[in-house]
Structure 1
Amino acid sequence: MKTFYGIKTNEYPKSSCNKIHNKIRKSDCLRHCIKTTNTIVMISHDESTNTCMCCGDVTGEDIPGSNWKSYVRRTMPCANGYMSYEVMSYQTCLRYFPVPVTYESAGALCQADGANLIKIDSQKKFDVFKEYHVPIANNTLIQVWIESIKVDGQWQFHDGSPMPNVCRINMSGEPEEVHVRACIHGSTNLYYQDAPNNMIFHYSCEYSP
């Protein structure tokens, strides 16, 4: 509770929050809210009744009580040029670089900037990627390297975890096409395309502050 939702507030939970019983610890409450609430605005917990309130909407009426402990997310400023987004339970900072480079160079440049090549590991991250890049494309085609590698015919990330099926991948079938770039053109025409390392495309970096 002291890492991301680490700012204590005097606000009471609201009638618009989702109530869960039998959550003895605040950490249990947090984990449940992360799993069940798309965008968490506030978390409240009452140790005397083991009640947890997951608040994605705080427009409802107050639910007063002397034992509520409520927390809101801590938002840190992103570095210059980066945009802040909330992805599930954490904050991420994104920046698009309109510089054509190879896949390997894109990763190295992100690391030199204190970040990593963007990793689209969930539907929510894909939605954020789309929300950020579509206005940049502005109905023109931009192609952006994303973290990816093909191993034994399977698409995965560098840590070995599989890439989720959140976007179709157009594949040429050539053995050297072992990375993926995202092709963005308009609000609906977004797809992945495989590519070899020596081709050059733009790239986007991300980091969690």
Structure 2
Amino acid sequence: MVVKSYFVLVCVYFSVQLVFAVSGSILQQQFVKTYIRPTSSCVEVANRTPSFVHCSASCLKNHKDNVVFSRHAVSTRCVCCRPLLTGLHYFDTEWITYKQGGANIVYCPTGYIGVNSSTVRTCLRLELMTKQYDEAATSCQSDGGDLIRIDSAEKYAIFQQFITNYVPPAVAEIWIQGFRDSNEIWRFHDGTVMQEHCPLETINYPGQIRIRFTIAQNRCYDHEPTFFYNSVCEI
């Protein structure tokens, strides 16, 4: 009787191990190791996890949008992150991180806010100091980005969402990316022709060769680059 019970326990043990091995193999196929370190926007779901498989399973159970899973090699803590990473990086190098294969991960540096739609993810920052157009663009580029580029209806919707949620009422005019070339064609900084996703009203006076967004009218206008306005950077 004792032998039989022992045999049953052994079978149960190996069955459980096999389940974990198979599930672990499946999970490992879904995720790829990445250099990304978790940030303060990630959520800790467990302070001890026996393996990466348990960590990733906990993250998926916690929220279906969790696509980055990180487990601390020493403490075995487990944190879960969504596609938009914001805030400060964890500086501890013992974090081992995986992401879902094919997941588009966007990290927003400090000072930038992650905004997204179903198809677009980006990071935006309002520059509260008013600047001339070229200075505003240079400030954004020094972060590794540029003035916001409204190149789709989705990006325009995200921009409006950002204004509603994060731009104070005192801000009236915002520099956005766009210039008129010598052939009277509106372009982005990389030379791509600018489509009119932001409703554009032009006066076409000489020197009105840059784009500003007026919040009260909810429209884009041409303007001289030497005027001082706030701006929105994108990275």
Shorter-chain TM-score: what band?
A: 0.5 to 0.7
Counterpart of 2:112 in structure 1 is: 82
- 2:220 is aligned to 192
* d(CA) in 2 for partners of 1:73, 1:203: 30
Matches within 5 A, 1:162-177: 162-177=193-208
The whole-number CA distance in structure 1 between the counterparts of 2:138 and 2:179 is: 15
Distance in structure 2 (CA, Å) of the matches to 1:135 and 1:196: 28
The structure richer in strand per residue is 1
Q: Separation in 1 of the partners of 2:165 and 2:117? A: 19
Q: Distance in 1 between matches of 2:168 and 2:106?
A: 28
Residue 8 (str. 1) matches residue 38 (str. 2): no
Please tell me the residue identity of whatever aligns with 2:135.
Answer: S
Moved more, 195-204 or 159-168: 159-168
Deviations 1:22-66 (A, max 9, x none): xxxxxxxxxxxxxxxxxxx79xxxxxxxxxxxxxxxxxxxxxxxx
Answer whether contact 2:120 2:154 (CA < 8 A) is retained.
no
Unaligned ranges ≥5, structure 2: 1-28, 32-64, 67-99
Q: Distance in 1 between matches of 2:120 and 2:169?
A: 30
Structure 2 letter corresponding to 1:97: E
TM-score (norm 2): 0.53
Gaps of 5+ in 1: 1-6, 10-40, 43-69
- Describe the shift of the 1:156–1:77 C-alpha distance in structure 2 as closer, same or farther (beyond 3 A): closer
Percent identity, aligned pairs only, is 25
* Residue 233 (structure 2) pairs with residue 202 (structure 1): no
1:134 equivalent in alignment to 2:156? no
Match of 2:133 in 1: 103
Structure 1 residues 113, 71: closer, same or farther in 2, change over 3 A? closer
Deviation of 1:140 (Å): 5.3
Write the letter of the residue equivalent to 2:187.
Answer: Q
Indicate which of 182, 186, 195 corresponds to 2:213. 182
Aligned pair partner of 1:157 in 185, 188, 191: 188
Aligned residues: 140
Structure with the bigger percentage of helix: 2
